[in-house]
Structure formats: structure tokens, C-alpha cells
A and B are shown apart, each in its own frame.
Chain A
Amino acid sequence: MSAEPSRPDPDELLAQVQAEEQQGKRGRLKIFLGYAAGVGKTFAMLEAAHQRKAELVDVVVGYVETHGRAETELQCSGLEIIPRLEVDYHNVQIPEMDIDAVLQRNPGLVLVDELAHTNAPGSRHARRYQDVEELLDCGINVYTTLNIQHIESLNDVVAQITGTKVRETVPDGVIDAVTDIELVDLPPDELINRLQEGKVYIPDQAQRAIQKFFRKGNLTALRELTMRRAAERVDDQMRAYMQTRLIPGPWPAGERLLVCISPGALGERLIHTARRLADELNAEWFAIYVETPDQARISQEQRDQVARSLRLAEELGAKTTSLPGQSVAETVMEYAHHHNVTKVIAGKPIHSRWIEFLRGSVVDRLIRLSGSIDVYVISSEAEPSTRKALEAWRPHRPWPRYFWGLLLVAAATGLSALIAPYISPTNLIVIYLLVVVLAAVYLGRGPAILTSVLGVAAFDFFFVPPSYTLAVSDTEYLLTFLGLLAVGLVISQLTALVREQAEAAKQREVQTVALYELGRDLTETAGLEAVTQTAIAHVGQTFSREVAIFLPVAGVLRAYATSAELSVSDNDLAVAAWTFEHSHPAGRGTNTLPEASMRYQPLKTMRGGVGVLGVKPSAPDRFLTRDQLRTLDAFANQIALAIERARLAEQTRQTEMLEITDKLQNALLNSISHDLRTPLVSITGALSSLINDQLTLDESSRRSLIETASEEADRLNRLVGNLLDMTRLESGAMRVKRDACDLQDLIGSSLEEVGSRLDDRSVTVDVPDDLPLVSMDFVLIERVLVNVIDNGLKYSPPGSPIEIRAHMAGAFVEIIVADRGVGIPPEDLTRIFDKFYRVQRPDNVNGTGLGLAIGKGIVDAHGGFISAENRPGGGTIITIALPVEAQK
């Protein structure tokens, strides 16, 4: 312990401030803690609630179980009660707290009875304390009740006292975060009295256990435990207070604990012990699991056990990690030194002495490497772990291999029999040695041992005098037998090890390759759509699962992309939304909504959550292994980054688009102000000249002025018409009203509309009489044709001819307008249909560059095409193609 005078550590001060701040946002949790059912926790809670209500706090009852006790029920009256949610489970209605209703109601304080309660399957959270956490996160204060035996770390102790193990436990982390604990106490004698008076509610199925549980001795012990726990809590708070206010006192040393988790039942006990020790020392603690190549062969069950242990440790407040490493001891110690750990806790399964001798003991090595770190060893009876270790020994599909072992021995014996007359029996052993080596290398450990034993037996039986008995005359042969057996064991052990390491490496390699491929493909794809599709393909292939990616669209989470066969229900979406909101995995294989059909992994980057990845197994009983989960995590990271990148790229593109739109709008304004003003200038000029008495104009000048004004007025009118059309087209107000139309009529009508501007032109129209009626909006298409003809007139010299043709082209009818004008530069052929685009001309051609754009808009709306090409011999050909029949 440090001898220096204590100073508040800046980090600690910061933590304190942050904790206080968090308390400000987060709701406060008060637990009414009792040592057994019936001490009056609910009653005390309701009493406190009434007091708060009197203080004008907005109190509601989220869930209170009165168990039909009149006094409790009476106390509930006068409080607002949120209706319960009836959860349907196998056609049984189970009442649960309606957490959404509470969140919606958003009261100042909510009462939630029985913190340790397990929710009905299908609820949002598996456990009620998780509901409470969510309420607290939303800034709602909560009053709740809890019995001491439900506290996770005291579970073992309580089990020792009462002889019954409670399954519904609450992680200590939840209790540590509690703002207040109120101890609800009742002397054991009174409790027993109440019980006998029938005032304590006991579920029917628990009646048998009751006698055992409600013994005075038990109750006294539990009561003491409860009081101690509450006192510890006070102590903690006091210490925290003293620390911030610079009150000198005995500071806990900066202890850090590390517990090594191993597969096997010992894991949980190790964690509980570590937690208790950490609590006592007020120390930070870590739980780590080291994956060595050896462990690639542990059973699925053991893997699950490790995962469970790590989860438990996390719930109890540990920092957990799982590390790959060659040797458990070295990896643990490296980690411990790196994290300034002061105490290491390890379990020691009791193996027989010779196994320990052969394989070495992790604990021994830990101690040897420990240096200044204390090592605590917890021992256990070896029962379940040895059985599992043996299971791991068994090779896959063993019988054919054993049979091969048998064959090898038979072959060796046959060969030996052939050459026995020529060489001494001692040398024959080399043949047996050979087959033992073969068996060890190719068949695995079991068959190798079998081969060794059988080989020894066969050799003894056939070739060691006295022959055809197992008796051995020369004791020297015993050494030979032992040697043979040892060689078989050692080689098979070595080969197995090598093979397993290779296997583990291969597995890792597969994962690395999968990850690499995902990374590569994601980098190569652009656009959100492609990125999500690539991600789904890779995740689906690597994990053999159906995949969905949920992304927020306009603030609401939606299934953005899914595997082909996957349909996403509202439920799935709800869980995904929860995951997204809390940035925490949910669904299958987690503690939150484990009933969901998928596992939901948040996709988050440094900037925050970008979405949710959902994976759904093909069969409901298949869970992801720890390795797979880690890979999935890595996948999720990569995908999140790729999605973020795609999103950013999209944003950049949108900004660019906006800039372009901006430019367009400027062009529009320039163009319009120019095009609107020019005719107005001419009209005003002409009219003001006419009205001015001082100007003496001859008849021809007057006439010319009047004509100018009139022409310019027409032009202005056309321009306004085009602008209106464009606006209608863009705002979607232009409706296509289809009718059967006669093309001849259409062309005639268009020419009529162009009217006098055609006067000096020769117009040839070639429309076959047998053209069918075409389904189109006569007025709109007429406008297109007028614009196209107008354009042809503008860009061709006066007096040059205009040709209009129509003919069938498959399911389309084509209307062709050809002029003998200047043509269009090839690079502009497609752009002339863009808005405000005008082919640059030295000569003074007026127009807004809207006519053809409107034409294209209208033709597109008809499901047709419009295109331009240069005409051989000079001029332009514009082709309008329209489907004869209306298309859907």
C-alpha cells in the first residue's frame, strides 16, 4: 500500500463527476432489500411511494404483485397503475410489466416489484432487471424489491446456508449501480409467525421446500448476510465520499484481479470467488480465457461453458477478454503484467499426479512466471472435467481406424512370420515398431495405442519363446514391450498435437481469408446497395446463415437488404431497432430478447451506430461458436465501416449534385431573365416609339415597329408556355391522358399550331394511310411535335424544306422531323434534350433551351424515346418513337 499522503486522483474525480452527471440523466434506482419472502418489502415500497406522491412526485405502479394480500392491495389504491401486458405463451396468458407503456407514460417514479423476476418467453428482455435498466436509461426513477438470495455473488453462500440453489439471480453490477438500498427487516420469529398465520405468500410448488427454508437458523443467517451486504454498500458510498472530499483514511491499494477461466464446472466458482475477493479489496477485476491450439479440440459443450463463464463474469462487473496464445500461463502472465494486475486467480482441476507430470500443470507454470503477482489457486473435485477430456480424445469415426490398426498388426505379423526363420526375434520388433509409427502418424492416438498393445501381444505370442503363449521367458523383452508402447504413445501424441495445431491454424486461416475477402470485395464495391449486397453474400456464405442488414432510412430503421429467402417481420424489426438504439447485440444467443429468430449485431463505427446486422440460422438449435462470434464481430466492423464509407460517398455526391443544381438554377435565372426581358425590351421600345408624338414616323416604320412588337409578344407567350410546361412536368402536375389518336390529325394540328412561321417553307408530310391509331395524349404530343418543328425552323436557313414522316417500327410508331439546317455537333447529340442546353451558335438564335427538354419529358412519360442525329447531306433528324399500345 502506498505510504504517500492521499490525493484525489484526477481520474477518480473525473469518474465521480461523470458518475454524478450520469446519475443526473439516468434514473435513480432504489432497492427494498429483504432477507426472505414476507418481510414486507412490497409494503415498504408502496408506503414510500405514497410518501413520494405526497411530495408531488409523479408516481405510477409499473408492476406490483399483491399476492391477494388485503393490506398490500389497499396500499396500491390511490396510485396510478399501468395496465399489465398479457404475454401469450403456449396459450397461457402471463401478466408482465408493459415496459413500452411505462416509457410512453414517462413518470417521475415507477414501482417495479421483484427485480429478480424472469420474464415470460417472448418478452423484450429475458429478465426484469433488464427492463429496469432500460427504464433507468430513459431517466425514469425506479423503486424495486429484492431478496438477498437473488444476488448473483451471494448465490453460493445462500445455497450453502439454505441448501437450495436459487436460479433467478441478479448480476451484482445492477446492484452496484443502485442509488439507494433500503433494508426491510423483520425479526425471524415474527416472520415465522406471519408465515404460520398464512400472511406470507408462497407459490404452491415451493410448499415442500418451505419447511427447510424458513427455519430460524436459516433466517438468522440470511438476515445477517443481508445486513452485511447493506452495510458494505454504505461503506462503499462513504469511502467514495471521503475520497472526493479529501478525507484521509485507509485507501484500498490499487488492486487488480485477474481470473483465468477454463472450460469445466470450475469456471463459475472461480468467477464467484474472484468477484467476492474483488469486492472485498474494492478492486477492478478481469476475466480472461486463453485459447491455445490444444483447445481447438474441446467439445462444443465446453465452448459454450466458457462463453457462459465469460458472460457471467461480465455481468458481475469484470472486464472480459479471450486471447489466443500458445501457452496459457505465459499469455495470462503477459496480460497480467501489461494491465498491472496484482493478483491472479486460477483453478486447479485435480488430475492424477502422473498426468500432471506428463502434461505439466498450468498452475505450476503460472506460479513460476508470476514474479511479484500473487497467485490464488482454487481447487475442485475433478469429476466432470475428466470425463470431458476423455471425450475429446476420441477420434472422429473411430472404428474404421481401429480396424486399420488391427490390419497393420496382422500384416506385420504375416511379414514377420515370413522372415522369422532368417533373423533373430529381437530384430523383428523393428517391423512392429514401423507399424506402430504408421498407426500413430496416420490413424491417431487410440488406434496407435491399440496397435502398440496388439503388436506387443502378437510379437510375444508368435515370436517370443515360448511361442504361442503370452508367457515371457526373457525379462529383457519386457523392456522391448514398454519401448514399443512408449514410442506409439509419444509419436501419436506428437502427431495429434501437430495435426490439431494445423487444424486450428487452418480454422483461423479460413476466418482470416473470409475476412480478407470480405474486406477486398467491400473496398471494390461502391454505393450502399452494392455494399450491403456484398456484405450479405459474404456473411451468408461464411456462417451458412440467412442475413439481413437494417439501416436507418429517414430516421427509421428498415430492413435495407436481406438474403433472398429471408422475410423480415415486425418483431425482427423491433429487436433490430432495440439493438440499434442501445448499440448492444440482442436476439438469439444473447440475454436480450433471446426468443427472437435472429441474432442482431450492431454495426458501429467511431462515429456511432450505422445499422444492424441480423443473422438467422437455418435450424433454430444451432448457435454460433465463440470463434464464429469473434469473426462475426470482425465482419460487423468491416461492414459498418464500408456502410459508413458508402454513406459518406453518397453525401459527397449529393453535395456535388446540389452544386450542380445550384449552377443549373443560376443558368435558369440568367436564361429566363434574358429571354423574358429581350421580347419585353422590343415591345416596350416599339410601343413607346409609336406613342411618342415627337417622333415623326412614316407608315412603313410604324408598321415595322408594330410587327416587331407583335412577333415579340408571340415569342414571350411561347416562352411562358414552355416554362409552365416545364414546371408542370417537374412538379408531376402533367398528367398523360391517353386516347386513341390519329397521327395524320396530330401532324396536321401541329403544323396548324406552328402556323405562319412555316409560311416560307416547303413542308412535306409522309404519313401512310394505314397507320393504326396510337394511344397517347394528343395535346402533349402535339406540343412535342410543335417544339421539334419549331427547333428545326430555328436552326435551318429560311426557305429550306422541312420533312415530316411517320411509320411503324415494331411495337412503336416513329415520327421523324428532318430539316436542312446546320446540324448538331456530334458531342451535343444527346445533350440537346437537357434542360437549358442550347447548342452554341454564333448567330442569334433565341429560345430557352426548354423546348426539347419538355419534349423528352413528355415522350418519356409515354414510354417512348426521342433522339437526334445528323442528316446525311446536312441537317438534323429528330425521331420521336411512341409505343402504339399504352404500356403499363
Chain B
Amino acid sequence: MSEQGVRVLVVDDERSIRRFLKASLGSQFVIFEATTGEEALAAVTANRPDVIILDLGLPDIDGVEVTRRLREWTQIPIIVISVREQEQDKIAALDAGADDYLTKPFGVGELMARLRSAIRRSAQAETDPVFKTGNLVVDLNQREVLVNGQPVSLTPTEYDLLRTFIKHTGKVLTHDQLLRAVWGTAYESETHMLQVNISNLRRKIEPDPVRPSYLITEPGVGYRLKII
């Protein structure tokens, strides 16, 4: 899909950061700016952006709260950028409904990749039955997983896990979110089950399970299915 005309709302109170984002993204996206939480909330209704880049440390309302209020009425992708590097901050933002999280400072290349994946996910039809990335093909209708064209047999849990990732391709899923989605709410905080299944899944689908290329670990936060 074309990125031309995609509207991006940049919310940050630092002028230099808005300036550099506008300079680097402006050629490919339509950029709107907001400097406070209130401005951001107003801008979302006024400008109808396709994706939001949101700083957490805003002068009026905290970014996590902004995310929570937006999620009350819209599923518009939110990419959080923040200097807060502690895992609990990331988890809080992701649990509030953010799609992705980038710690400042970040490279523009990384930001572009996250933006693209978020846009693609929101544009993707819910019912697209076949997922493809690199050498991995998953047919969600047939419940079939192929690596290098060869069928791989997954346990029901592993398959559910993979399907959850595919549903949220590119999005960081926290440990709790994954456990809730696959095992149900009773199993929150049973991270070791998640660890074991991720490890097994990687062995089955990754070309090099030690240096995974699809299922990426977000240290202390969760995992993300990366599109190559």
C-alpha cells in the first residue's frame, strides 16, 4: 500500500524533536504537530491522523493517560516514544493500548519500520487468511504452518501463540497480554509457560533460534512478530 497521504500526528513538547521528526518524515507522510496532551486529543478529532507518535512526558496529561482516553473510542495506531527506559513504563503504555514503544534516542530507520508496520496492520483486512514473512507461511484457515515450504507440526498452544502474534503483527505484546490471549486470565504471571512455548516455537519456525528473526524479544516487556 502507498504511504503517500498517510497522516501522522507527532505529539511532543520538545521543539527540537518535533522539528527533526518533521524534517525526516515530512517527505513521506503528512505531519501534524501537537505539544500537549489536550492539543493531541483535539488534533485527533480535528485532523483524523492515521497514526500517532506520542511522547509520554507531556506537560499537562501523561502520555499513558492520553493513550487510555484515545482507546476509549478509536483503535488508531499509537507509537510511544519516550526517554523512560524502565520496563514497567513500557508495559504501562502498552497495556493502556499503545501499539509500539521506542526508547529515545532512536534511529529514524527504526521509527520508519515501526510506522510502516503499524500502518500496514491497521490497513490489513482482519480476515486475510494467509500470513507470509521470510520463509514462514501460516494459513490461518487450514491451521497450517510451512517453513521453507515444509509443513511444521505445532502443539495447539504454540499455534494459538503464533496466531495471536499474527493478529497483531509488528505490535509489541506484553507477557500479560500474551498469557491472557492464549491461556486465559487465570494464567497471568505464569511467565515460565510462555517462555517455554516461545522457545519451542522458535525452534520450530526460526532459521536460527538463538538469533530469532521473526519472534523478537522485547527485554522485560514481551515479544513482537517482525515482518521481514
> Which positions 201-228 of chain B face chain A at CB distance < 8 Å?
202-203, 209-212, 216-217, 219-220
Given A744-B210, A773-B196, verify A749-B217 contact (CB < 8 Å).
yes
Residues B217 and A779 in contact, CB atoms below 8 Å apart: no
Which residue of chain B lies nearest to A721 when distances are taken between CB atoms in the complex? B85
In the complex the two chains form, is A767's CB within 8 Å of B217's CB? no
Q: Mark A764-784, 1 if CB is under 8 A from B, else 0.
A: 010101000100011100100
B211 A751 Cβ-Cβ under 8 A: yes
User: Complex formed: what's the CA distance from A753 to B87 in Å?
Assistant: 15
Decide if B133 is an interface residue (CB 8 Å cutoff): no
Residues from chain B with Cβ under 8 Å of A748 in the complex: 209-212, 217
What 1/0 mask marks residues of chain A from 59 to 76 whose CB sits below 8 Å from any chain B CB? 000000000000000000
In the complex, A573 has a CB within 8 A of chain B: no
The reply to whether A742 and B105 contact each other, CB–CB distance below 8 Å, is no
Q: Give the size of the chain A interface in residues (CB under 8 angstroms).
A: 25
User: Bound complex: CA of A713 vs CA of B217, how far in Å?
Assistant: 25
Q: Which residues of A contact B196 (CB under 8 A)?
A: 742, 773
* Cβ distance A446 to chain B, nearest Cβ, rounded Å: 89
Instruction: Indicate whether B15 reaches chain A with its CB closer than 8 angstroms.
Output: no
In the bound complex, do residue B199 and residue A744 qualify as a contact, i.e. CB atoms below 8 Å apart?
A: yes
Give the docked Cα–Cα distance between A739 and B199 (Å).
15
Known contacts A748-B210, A748-B211, A778-B220: does B198 contact A717 (CB below 8 Å)?
no
**What is the distance, in angstroms, from A178's C-beta to the closest C-beta of chain B?**
72
Least CB distance, A886 to chain B, in whole angstroms: 13
* B148 is an interface residue with CB less than 8 A from chain A: no
Question: Which of A713, A717, A751, A778 has most B Cβ within 10 Å?
Answer: A778
Whether the Cβ atoms of B105 and A717 lie closer than 8 Å is yes
**B135: A residues at CB distance < 8 A:** none
A88 to B105, CA, bound (A): 72
**If the complex has contacts A739-B191, A745-B217, A749-B217, are A765 and B211 also in contact, measured as CB distance less than 8 A?**
yes
Q: Are B216 and A752 interface neighbours, CB within 8 A?
A: yes
Cβ 8 A contact of A747, one of B105, B203, B210: B210
With beta carbons under 8 angstroms apart, the residue of A713, A717, A745, A752 that contacts B199 is: A745
Q: Complex Cα distance A740/B198, Å?
A: 13
Most chain A CB atoms below 10 A, which of B191, B202, B210: B210
A741 close to B (CB within 8 Å): yes
Contact B219 A742 (CB under 8 A): no
Interchain CB contact (< 8 A) of A740 among B195, B212, B220: B195
Least Cβ–Cβ distance between B223 and chain A, in angstroms: 9
Smallest beta-carbon distance B112→chain A, Å: 15
Q: How far is the CA of A605 from the CA of B195 in the complex (A)?
A: 65
Neighbouring B residues of A747 by C-beta, 8 Å: 210
Looking at B192, B195, B209, B219, which has the most chain A CB atoms within 10 Å of its CB? B219
Q: Which residues of B contact A742 (CB under 8 A)?
A: 195-196, 198-199
Nearest Cβ distance between residue A248 and chain B, in whole angstroms?
Answer: 90
Contacts of A752 in B (CB 8 A): 211, 216-217
Majority-rule SS of A interface residues: helix
Contact status B219-A778, CB under 8 Å: yes
User: Which residues of chain B are within 8 angstroms of A740 by Cβ–Cβ distance?
Assistant: 191-192, 195
B104 to chain A: closest residue by CB: A717
CB distance from A774 to the nearest CB of B (A): 10
Q: Which of B105, B192, B212, B219 contacts A782 (CB 8 A)?
A: B219
**Closest Cβ of chain A: how far from B59's Cβ, in Å?**
23
Q: How far is the CA of A784 from the CA of B175 in the complex (A)?
A: 22
Find residues 50-107 in chain B having any chain A CB closer than 8 Å to their own CB: 85, 87, 105, 107
- Which residues from A are CB-within-8-Å of B87? 737, 779
- List of B residues within 8 angstroms of A753 by Cβ: 219
Docked complex Cα distance between A778 and B85 (Å): 14
Residues of A within 8 A of B107 (CB): 710
In whole angstroms, what is the CA distance A751 to B210 when docked? 9
Residue of A nearest to B190 (CB): A740
Among A713, A737, A765, contact of B210 (Cβ-Cβ < 8 Å):
A765
B192 near A744 with CB under 8 A, answer no
Task: Report chain B residues within 8 Å CB of A749.
Answer: 217, 219
- Of chain A, the residue at the smallest CB distance from B212 is A748
CB-nearest residue of chain B to A750: B219
- Give the complex CA separation of A782 and B211 in angstroms: 14
Query: In the complex, which residues of chain A have a beta carbon less than 8 angstroms from the beta carbon of B212?
Result: 748
* Alpha-carbon separation in the docked complex, A765 to B208 (Å): 10
Which residues from 746 to 763 on chain A have a C-beta closer than 8 Å to any C-beta of chain B?
747-749, 751-753
For residue B199, which residues in chain A have a CB less than 8 angstroms away from its CB?
742, 744-745
B175-206 residues at the A interface, CB under 8 angstroms: 191-192, 195-196, 198-199, 202-203
A721 to B191, CA, bound (A): 27
Cβ-defined contact, B210 with A773, below 8 A: no
Q: How far is the CA of A713 from the CA of B108 in the complex (A)?
A: 13
Q: Which residues of B contact A717 (CB under 8 A)?
A: 105
> How many angstroms from the CA of A747 to the CA of B209 in the assembled complex?
10
> How long is the Cα–Cα vector from A749 to B198 in the complex, in angstroms?
13
The answer for the CA separation of A749 and B202 in the assembled complex, in Å, is 13
- Distance A745 CA – B192 CA, assembled complex (angstroms): 12
Which residues on B sit within 8 Å (CB–CB) of A782? 219
Q: How far is the CB of A775 from chain B (nearest CB, A)?
A: 9
Residues of the A chain whose Cβ atoms lie less than 8 Å from the Cβ of B220: 737, 777-779
Q: Identify which of B105, B191, B211 contacts A713 (C-beta below 8 A).
A: B105
Which residue on chain B has the smallest CB distance to residue A740?
Answer: B192
- Complex formed: what's the CA distance from A721 to B83 in Å? 11
Inter-chain contacts of A741 with B (CB < 8 A) = 195
Residue among A717, A742, A767 with the highest chain B CB neighbour number at 10 A:
A742
CA–CA, A747 and B203, complex, Å: 15
* Residues of B close to A778: CB separation below 8 A: 219-220
Give B61 Cβ to nearest chain A Cβ, in Å: 26
Check B192–A773 contact: CB distance below 8 A: yes
CA–CA, A742 and B191, complex, Å: 11
Taking a contact as CB atoms under 8 Å apart, the answer to whether B195 and A745 are in contact is yes
Looking across the interface, which residue of chain A has its beta carbon closest to that of B87? A779
CB distance A744 to B209 under 8 Å? yes
Q: Which of A739, A745, A777 contacts B198 (CB 8 A)?
A: A745
Q: Which residues of A contact B202 (CB under 8 A)?
A: 744
Proximity string of chain A (135-179) to chain B, C-beta cutoff 8 Å, 1 when within and 0 when not: 000000000000000000000000000000000000000000000
Residue numbers in A under 8 Å from B216 (CB-CB): 752
Q: Assess A769 versus B210: contact at CB under 8 Å? Given A713-B105, A778-B219.
A: no
A731 to chain B minimum Cβ distance, whole angstroms, is 15
Tell me if B203 and A769 are in contact (CB < 8 A).
Answer: yes
Tell me the bound Cα distance from A299 to B203 in angstroms: 92
Whole-angstrom distance between the alpha carbons of A717 and B211 in the complex? Answer: 24
| CB-nearest residue of chain B to A779 | B220
Question: Chain A residues near B217 (CB, 8 Å)?
Answer: 745, 748-749, 752
Q: Which residue of A lies closest to B175 (CB)?
A: A739
15 A-B pairs with C-beta separation under 8 A? A717-B105, A737-B87, A740-B195, A745-B198, A745-B217, A748-B209, A748-B212, A749-B217, A751-B210, A751-B211, A773-B192, A773-B196, A777-B220, A778-B220, A779-B219
Q: Which 5 A-B pairs have the closest CB atoms?
A: A740-B192, A779-B220, A749-B217, A765-B210, A742-B195
Chain A residues with CB under 8 Å of chain B are 710, 713, 717, 721, 737, 739-742, 744-745, 747-749, 751-753, 765, 767, 769, 773, 777-779, 782
Contacts A737-B87, A739-B192, A744-B210 aside, 11 further interface pairs with beta carbons under 8 A come to A717-B105, A740-B195, A742-B198, A745-B195, A745-B198, A745-B217, A748-B211, A748-B217, A752-B217, A767-B210, A782-B219
